[in-house]
Structure 1
């Protein structure tokens, strides 16, 4: 018989007595189910090929996340179709906490409007966990262009032909250019390349006029005669204090990209909460933040609700831009 509340039965054997006294307390505490990654390794899907910024961010953050969760996390690169192949694989994964992945502005706010037969739903197909970084774009102008600022560049577009490069049709830097044309009421000639690197090389060589790129390209731009004449955030960026926001010329203009961590839809709330908290802790860690900033990216931990809000906001921004540009794949 268990001891009654308020009184104590004397026990002949001290060890037995201690066990008997502890029993009501142990019985009152609910047993905590083992988190799945405590017994099995995790898989992290990057929807792009190795070597780019998404891959670098994923490996930096998951290395520390594995330490937080006391498990091994294997990074799996599934590139192709603007991230659509990797996101499809993540959306089809079991919602058991063992498979999570990285999504971007492109995979969650652009692809739905760009691809006619997208095999995943950017909203209903995933469980948002946390933002990890955000990034502005910078407007890099060829060094010998006569425009001294954005207003003069737009005036040049009204008088004649201005060209801008991108990483390809539907890429973030392409759509930034389309948004600029739309908001400024000008026409410019888009020149797509197979990646941002080749496009930037053409700007630096003076063969096209400008392009939008992330601050990660600053190491390449510095030491050349190319000029950064604007940034797409609402404020000046610490890495580019002399470059004014586009919004100073075109009020309300803002383009801020992001990377976030997602699980498949149906991930149980306790597992999602644990993962979200752990990711946020890693991103706010000083060493991790410094490594992310070294890539030209801004660490940005956020709640699942904030990440879902970013998806909705950017979906509303880029849908009309893509429609205006007449972009559709498949």
Structure 2
């Protein structure tokens, strides 16, 4: 009898928990939602988060706040989310850097992407562009490689994300270049130093690259994707000169471990509706992104695959984990 009463009690508790979770999902969001971003304002991740957040705010009637927390390779932002309540109100909006790439780039992390995240929604894709100052002596990638080979150890590159770091290292390895790499908290700072002449080149997300090229101070030489980018087809792929070169950044929303499935599905559905709106292709295009919705189950598998991929890329690029 005691066992039967215990089983009945457990069943009631489970039913109440399910009902509470469903009610929470139906009413999400009831208050401000925070997108924690591991990069400074003005970066591709920040602009993507703001674009999606603004659309969600209009459609759902609650504030979506962008909380930029750069530093420590993204770990500061990640731990802010990992330690948050799993209620769907504190979410990480990040590129692949903090979600998958860091596993390969750091000897140890204060978090485990497979254990500490609840995958919610894939958001979009982004290519990077090799950028130099307008007065750089080379006019194309072949000329850049020739110039770098003629000045071994003299060219300095800046990076502000795992994608830009690996882009530089892969270029150096595949082309046989000797360059010096300098880390930055975000690509915006690297671009500023490129403009100021402190570094010689960097890889910039294509939205920022187009904006800088239009101003005339910087010039794009090649794009990291396998195919030319529709936003600026005049920039050839690096792979045209270095076959097999292919690096694409991606963006996703994850929560801390333990976000109820009903809440996850509600957030994913709302984000997917935003991404499916016809105007989002234009809005994302303006910042160099291509919308790409992905559900929680697919995203979980994708993150696991990407961890394997980035371990391979980091190894191929001869990057020593920090």
TM-score by length of 2: 0.79
Q: Which residue does 1:270 correspond to in 2?
A: 262
Q: Which residue does 1:41 correspond to in 2?
A: 31
2:319 pairs with 317, 320, 325, which one? Answer: 325
Distance 1:309 1:245, change over 3 A: farther
SS for the counterpart of 2:35 is: strand
1:243 pairs with 222, 235, 243, which one? Answer: 235
- Distance apart, 1:158 and its partner CA: 3.5
Q: Which residue does 2:113 correspond to in 1?
A: 122
CA distance in 2, matches of 1:55, 1:143: 26
- Distance apart, 1:143 and its partner CA: 3.4
Q: Which residue does 1:110 correspond to in 2?
A: 101
Give the number of the structure whose alpha-carbon radius of gyration is greater: 1
Contact 1:35 1:271 in 2 (8 A): yes
Gaps of 5+ in 1: 1-29
- Distance apart, 1:147 and its partner CA: 3.2
Q: Which residue does 2:212 correspond to in 1?
A: 220
Distance 1:75 1:146, change over 3 A: closer
CA distance in 2, matches of 1:301, 1:269: 18
Distance 1:166 1:144, change over 3 A: same
1:166 pairs with 158, 161, 180, which one? Answer: 158
Does 2:307 match 1:315? yes
- Distance apart, 1:273 and its partner CA: 1.9
Does 2:183 match 1:189? no
CA distance in 2, matches of 1:80, 1:31: 37
**Aligned residue pair count:** 298
| CA offset digits 1:127-150 (Å, max 9, x no partner) | 212222221001113334443432
| CA offset digits 1:191-237 (Å, max 9, x no partner) | 44564345334544666442211122322232426431210011111
Please, what is the CA RMSD of the aligned residues? 3.1
CA distance in 1, matches of 2:22, 2:187: 47
Structure richer in helix, relative to its length: 2
Contact 1:164 1:177 in 2 (8 A): no
- Within a 5 Å distance, the mapping from 1:3-22 to structure 2 comes to none
